[in-house]
Amino acid sequence: MVNILAFSIWLFFHPVHVTLTSIDQVRGNDSLKVFVKMYYDDFLLDYILFDSSNETVKALTVNQLIPEALMNNYISEKVTIIVNNKELKGKLLNLDLEDNEVRVNLLYRSVRKPKVITVRNCIMTELYADQANMMIVHVNDFEEGIKLTQVSKEQTFNLKRKQKRETEK
Protein backbone atom coordinates (compact mmCIF):
# COMPACT_ATOMS: atom_id res chain seq x y z
CA MET A 1 0.00 0.00 0.00
CA VAL A 2 2.83 2.43 0.85
CA ASN A 3 4.53 1.66 -2.48
CA ILE A 4 1.33 2.39 -4.40
CA LEU A 5 0.90 5.69 -2.56
CA ALA A 6 4.52 6.71 -3.18
CA PHE A 7 4.23 5.81 -6.87
CA SER A 8 0.97 7.77 -7.18
CA ILE A 9 2.57 10.84 -5.62
CA TRP A 10 5.56 10.51 -7.94
CA LEU A 11 3.26 10.24 -10.98
CA PHE A 12 1.36 13.32 -9.88
CA PHE A 13 4.51 15.43 -9.75
CA HIS A 14 6.28 13.89 -12.75
CA PRO A 15 3.69 12.19 -14.97
CA VAL A 16 5.31 12.32 -18.42
CA HIS A 17 8.64 12.05 -20.17
CA VAL A 18 8.72 15.22 -22.24
CA THR A 19 11.09 18.02 -23.17
CA LEU A 20 10.38 21.32 -24.88
CA THR A 21 12.78 22.91 -27.36
CA SER A 22 12.20 26.12 -29.27
CA ILE A 23 14.35 27.30 -32.14
CA ASP A 24 13.76 30.93 -32.98
CA GLN A 25 15.46 33.17 -35.51
CA VAL A 26 14.92 36.87 -35.11
CA ARG A 27 13.94 38.33 -38.50
CA GLY A 28 16.97 39.66 -40.37
CA ASN A 29 19.43 38.11 -37.91
CA ASP A 30 22.00 35.37 -38.57
CA SER A 31 21.55 33.69 -35.19
CA LEU A 32 19.17 31.09 -33.81
CA LYS A 33 18.10 31.35 -30.20
CA VAL A 34 17.45 27.90 -28.77
CA PHE A 35 15.64 27.18 -25.52
CA VAL A 36 15.50 23.70 -23.96
CA LYS A 37 13.40 22.76 -20.93
CA MET A 38 13.44 19.31 -19.31
CA TYR A 39 13.00 17.56 -16.00
CA TYR A 40 16.31 17.63 -14.19
CA ASP A 41 16.09 14.21 -12.53
CA ASP A 42 15.52 12.58 -15.94
CA PHE A 43 18.32 14.65 -17.44
CA LEU A 44 20.78 13.39 -14.79
CA LEU A 45 19.85 9.78 -15.58
CA ASP A 46 20.26 10.42 -19.30
CA TYR A 47 23.58 12.19 -18.78
CA ILE A 48 24.97 9.14 -16.99
CA LEU A 49 23.99 7.03 -20.04
CA PHE A 50 25.62 9.66 -22.27
CA ASP A 51 28.87 9.82 -20.26
CA SER A 52 28.99 6.97 -17.76
CA SER A 53 32.56 7.73 -16.74
CA ASN A 54 31.79 11.25 -15.47
CA GLU A 55 32.12 11.14 -11.69
CA THR A 56 31.09 14.81 -11.32
CA VAL A 57 27.59 14.11 -12.65
CA LYS A 58 27.21 10.86 -10.71
CA ALA A 59 27.81 12.82 -7.49
CA LEU A 60 25.18 15.48 -8.24
CA THR A 61 21.82 15.53 -6.53
CA VAL A 62 18.60 16.90 -7.98
CA ASN A 63 19.27 20.24 -6.28
CA GLN A 64 22.81 20.72 -7.65
CA LEU A 65 23.21 22.29 -11.07
CA ILE A 66 25.48 20.56 -13.58
CA PRO A 67 28.53 22.58 -14.70
CA GLU A 68 27.82 24.65 -17.83
CA ALA A 69 30.57 22.99 -19.91
CA LEU A 70 29.05 19.55 -19.31
CA MET A 71 25.56 20.79 -20.21
CA ASN A 72 26.91 22.39 -23.40
CA ASN A 73 28.54 19.07 -24.42
CA TYR A 74 25.35 17.14 -23.69
CA ILE A 75 23.10 19.50 -25.69
CA SER A 76 25.62 19.58 -28.56
CA GLU A 77 25.44 15.79 -28.83
CA LYS A 78 21.70 15.38 -28.24
CA VAL A 79 20.28 18.30 -30.25
CA THR A 80 21.48 18.77 -33.82
CA ILE A 81 20.55 21.71 -36.03
CA ILE A 82 21.57 21.63 -39.68
CA VAL A 83 20.94 24.69 -41.85
CA ASN A 84 21.53 24.50 -45.61
CA ASN A 85 23.47 21.23 -45.12
CA LYS A 86 25.80 22.75 -42.51
CA GLU A 87 25.70 21.51 -38.92
CA LEU A 88 25.65 24.39 -36.46
CA LYS A 89 27.41 24.45 -33.11
CA GLY A 90 25.73 26.16 -30.19
CA LYS A 91 27.06 28.14 -27.31
CA LEU A 92 25.39 27.92 -23.93
CA LEU A 93 24.26 31.35 -22.74
CA ASN A 94 22.72 30.38 -19.42
CA LEU A 95 21.23 27.58 -17.44
CA ASP A 96 18.67 27.66 -14.66
CA LEU A 97 17.26 25.05 -12.29
CA GLU A 98 13.98 25.50 -10.45
CA ASP A 99 11.34 23.01 -9.26
CA ASN A 100 13.14 20.06 -10.90
CA GLU A 101 13.07 21.77 -14.29
CA VAL A 102 16.26 22.83 -16.03
CA ARG A 103 16.06 25.63 -18.57
CA VAL A 104 18.89 26.12 -21.03
CA ASN A 105 19.39 29.01 -23.46
CA LEU A 106 21.84 28.64 -26.32
CA LEU A 107 22.91 30.66 -29.34
CA TYR A 108 23.71 29.17 -32.74
CA ARG A 109 25.24 31.16 -35.62
CA SER A 110 23.34 30.52 -38.84
CA VAL A 111 22.51 32.40 -42.04
CA ARG A 112 19.99 35.19 -42.50
CA LYS A 113 17.83 33.31 -45.00
CA PRO A 114 17.94 29.55 -44.43
CA LYS A 115 16.46 27.40 -47.18
CA VAL A 116 16.45 24.02 -45.43
CA ILE A 117 16.62 23.24 -41.73
CA THR A 118 16.96 19.79 -40.20
CA VAL A 119 16.46 19.27 -36.49
CA ARG A 120 17.33 16.15 -34.53
CA ASN A 121 16.53 15.68 -30.86
CA CYS A 122 17.74 12.58 -29.01
CA ILE A 123 17.30 13.87 -25.45
CA MET A 124 16.33 10.91 -23.26
CA THR A 125 15.29 8.74 -26.22
CA GLU A 126 17.60 5.98 -24.98
CA LEU A 127 16.19 6.34 -21.48
CA TYR A 128 12.42 6.18 -22.05
CA ALA A 129 10.42 4.42 -24.77
CA ASP A 130 7.61 6.98 -24.37
CA GLN A 131 9.91 10.04 -24.54
CA ALA A 132 8.37 12.99 -26.41
CA ASN A 133 10.62 15.85 -27.47
CA MET A 134 8.35 18.71 -28.47
CA MET A 135 9.98 21.26 -30.76
CA ILE A 136 8.85 24.58 -32.15
CA VAL A 137 10.79 25.88 -35.14
CA HIS A 138 10.33 29.57 -35.99
CA VAL A 139 12.51 30.90 -38.80
CA ASN A 140 11.47 34.08 -40.63
CA ASP A 141 7.83 33.51 -41.73
CA PHE A 142 7.96 29.76 -41.08
CA GLU A 143 6.65 28.31 -37.82
CA GLU A 144 5.83 24.70 -37.04
CA GLY A 145 5.59 22.52 -33.97
CA ILE A 146 6.62 18.87 -34.07
CA LYS A 147 6.89 15.91 -31.75
CA LEU A 148 10.08 13.86 -31.97
CA THR A 149 10.23 10.43 -30.33
CA GLN A 150 12.43 7.41 -29.89
CA VAL A 151 11.24 6.19 -33.31
CA SER A 152 11.18 9.58 -35.09
CA LYS A 153 14.13 11.67 -33.89
CA GLU A 154 14.63 13.97 -36.89
CA GLN A 155 12.63 16.32 -39.12
CA THR A 156 13.65 18.34 -42.18
CA PHE A 157 11.84 21.50 -43.26
CA ASN A 158 12.13 23.02 -46.73
CA LEU A 159 11.68 26.68 -45.82
CA LYS A 160 11.98 27.96 -49.38
CA ARG A 161 9.11 25.79 -50.63
CA LYS A 162 6.95 26.84 -47.65
CA GLN A 163 7.68 30.53 -48.33
CA LYS A 164 6.73 30.09 -52.02
CA ARG A 165 3.42 28.41 -51.11
CA GLU A 166 2.54 31.23 -48.73
CA THR A 167 3.42 33.83 -51.40
CA GLU A 168 1.11 32.10 -53.93
CA LYS A 169 -1.93 32.29 -51.59
Look at residue 75 in the predicted model and tell me its pLDDT. Answer: 97
User: What is the reported pTM?
Assistant: 0.83
Alpha-carbon torsion 96, 100, 102, 103, what sign?
negative
Average pLDDT for the chain: 85
pLDDT number for residue 63: 77
Does pLDDT of 42 surpass 70? yes
Percentage above 90 pLDDT, the chain: 64
Q: Give how far Cα 71 sits from Cα of 31, 42, 68, Å.
A: 20, 14, 5
The alpha-carbon radius of gyration of the chain (Å, integer) is 18
DSSP 3-state assignment of 165?
helix
pLDDT band, residue 58 (cuts 50/70/90): confident
Residue 77: closest CA among 97, 47, 57, 103: 47
75 CB-near residues (< 8 Å, 6+ apart): 36, 90, 92, 104, 106
Tens of pLDDT, residue by residue over 93-149, are: 999 999 889 999 999 998 888 999 999 999 999 999 999 999 999 988 889 999 999
Q: Phi and psi dihedrals of 105, rounded to 5?
A: -115, 130
The pLDDT of residue 169 is above 60: no
Q: Which residues, other chains included, contact 78 with Cβ-Cβ below 8 Å and sequence gap of 6+?
A: 50, 121, 122, 123
What pLDDT is attached to residue 112? 84
pLDDT tier at 89, thresholds 50, 70, 90? very high
Q: CA–CA distance from 158 to each of 12, 24, 25, 83 (Å)?
A: 40, 16, 15, 10
